[in-house]
Amino acid sequence: MVKIGMIIGERYEILERIGTGGMSDVYKAKCQKLNRMVAVKVLKQEFSENETFVSKFRVEAQAAAGLVHPNVVNVYDVGEENGIYYIVMELVEGITLKKYIEKKNGLAFKEAVNIAIQVCLGMGAAHNNNIIHRDIKPQNIIISKDGKVKVTDFGIAKAATSDTITTNVMGSVHYTSPEQARGGFSNEKSDIYSLGITLFEMITGQVPFDGENTVAIAIQHIQEDMPKPSSVCPDIPVSIESIVMKCCQKSPERRYQSAAEVVVDLKKALQSPEEDVVALSELQAGGTRKISQEEINQIKQMTETEEKDEGQDFERLTTILAIAGGVVILLILIFMAVQILGKNAQRDQGQSEFNPIISEETTEYVKMKKVVGMSVEDARNVLTELELITIVDYVESGVVEKGIVMSTDVEVGAELPKGSTVTLTASAGVGKIEVPSVLGNTYVQASDQLVGQGFAVSRVDGYSNDVEVGCVIGQVPAAGSMVPSGTNITLTVSIGKDKLMVPNVMGKTEAEAVAMMVEAGLEVSGVTYVYNAEYEAGKVCYQGYSGGSYVDYGTVIDIKVSKGAQPYTYKCNAYIEAPSVSEAPDYEAGTEVTVVLVTDDGQELMNTKVTDFPKAANYYGLKSSGGTVTMTYMVTGEGTSSIDPETGKETVTPADPVEKTFTRRIEFVRE
């Protein structure tokens, strides 16, 4: 059981739970080795003992690990520890598109298109790596704080083989494609349908289909006509409405055939919002199939216990609809076979015994045009304009590019009734082979192995703390992927340990600086203390590498801490002159003077009696820049005289001495 504070994989410290899903919980964690925040996705305990769920969880990691794209949440690591299955992913701080739509009550046209383009780019990168998301919805799209759009939670994605893969419906039913709702195959076009629903919600603020339960919503995806966005918001541009409607065609073949095609039309929509950027013919005959009352009754019977466990009901629904869909497909194939046989007989016999009402007087004929060499989509557009029905058979080809028509069952120029069926044979590309794992091998070994199996190889360098220099640390496509022979495999080769970013600790206290360096994975060699007038005492005033620079692992950083401004010392080299007239008008040369010299910080340098001037004063290593000289001397007056009346003799009485004091400022010189 995952607990806050625990460390898994000997490096990921669990900090807090930030999300939860049907199969897993997501935690914010700190990678202690790389000193970065990550998201750790952990399979819920109730599923960890279920081999099916564990298998799906492992497949998710294998599929996503080789996918690196700016519009996809990247996967860093995967592991298992004491029954805890986890995936380590890029931590994206931001808001889900679902919450963003709710917050703004629908998005402006240009904003919605820009978001959709970024989703398509990420989705297309996954498709190019043979990964089908199968759960595209606003809840799985994150808008980061810097505005970057990223697709996340490949919760049901797994590497696709050359054939389409059948799975149970596991995504949110509001966004699921009709084929997923029936329990049928799902491929790139299923993701495109879900993208269309997401785009509908972005521009209208609501989903096109809703109901009381999952079964009711699934039925709408299968049999109800897709509502136009303008029916909810009349001011929606024509261009974006037509894109949504093409994405959400019931038939996968009538949708966009790739995410790249969607991007092309989305960019056109930004340039010409009021022009229909999608061929109108593509929006006709949406492939809606009505479910019979008997099927609906069966579905309702299977949903009696829905309030207890809707998840089980939905699995039953998909099974029933898959059977029903199979029956309908079988009937369609029988009908088409009859039509083809009838057409062939008509060519051979000059008339049709299967369609006796057709005659030259009542039926319009068209001439078959050349479509060989066109893309399947362009060929179907040409034949649709002729009001002909097309069936596409795909066969492997090592010569003709995938998706290009190689032949038709009707010759160019042949006349055939409108409504007839034409079979196109198109290239499915070359056969696909499994990519082997070459992780840990030297580049030379890995390259030789891949080239020997028919792959091309390219190299990029990358840092690794664990893998030896010159050995492979990553490969794209990932091991186990099914790709065409000749596909380029990009190998990431270790060039040694990664660089670490040096934090800026200038102005921090010594304790703060050391802690920051240690958290960044760096070592502090020691702290020295120096005088520095720019930084107050106790604060870092120097670091060996500037903040923001990158250094190798094991680099030792020097730190210096300020002792404050450099203290200066002063010297006193002066002559103390005799008191001046202005200082002591009654001073007479030769009078004894007490001279006291005291510095500004209270240090007494001189205290002496002087009769001769000047007096030398030489002192060194003083901390003060100046001092005060105090001079004290005695002054005696003339006295008083008196005459004795009897004798007539004059008597002089001397006056008492008077102490006089004055001060003089003296400045010292810095040593």
Catalytic site residues? 135
Which residue in 134, 113, 144 sits closest to 59, CA to CA?
134
The answer to whether 42 and 80 are in contact (CB under 8 A) is no
* Side chain identity at residue 465, one-letter code: N
The answer to whether 219 and 296 are in contact (CB under 8 A) is yes
Which tokens belong to 8? 């898994």
For 557-619, the three-class secondary structure string (H helix, E strand, C coil) is: EEEEEECCCCCCCEEEEEEECCCCCCCCCCCCCCCCEEEEEEECCCCEEEEEEECCCCEEEEE
Who contacts 524 (Cβ-Cβ below 8 Å, separation ≥6)? 513, 514, 517, 518, 556, 557, 558, 559
- With the C-alpha atoms ordered 467, 472, 477, 478, is the resulting torsion angle positive or negative? negative
Who contacts 296 (Cβ-Cβ below 8 Å, separation ≥6)? 219
What are the phi and psi torsion angles at 606 (to 5°)? Answer: -145, 140
**Beta strand 640-643 pairing with 626-635:** unpaired
Length of the chain in terms of residues written = 671
Q: How far is CA 410 from CA 351, 359, 414, in A?
A: 17, 20, 7
Who contacts 383 (Cβ-Cβ below 8 Å, separation ≥6)? 369, 371, 389, 390, 422
The answer to whether 489 and 474 are in contact (CB under 8 A) is no
Q: Where are the beta strands (DSSP E) in 445-514?
A: 456-462, 472-476, 482-484, 488-494, 499-501
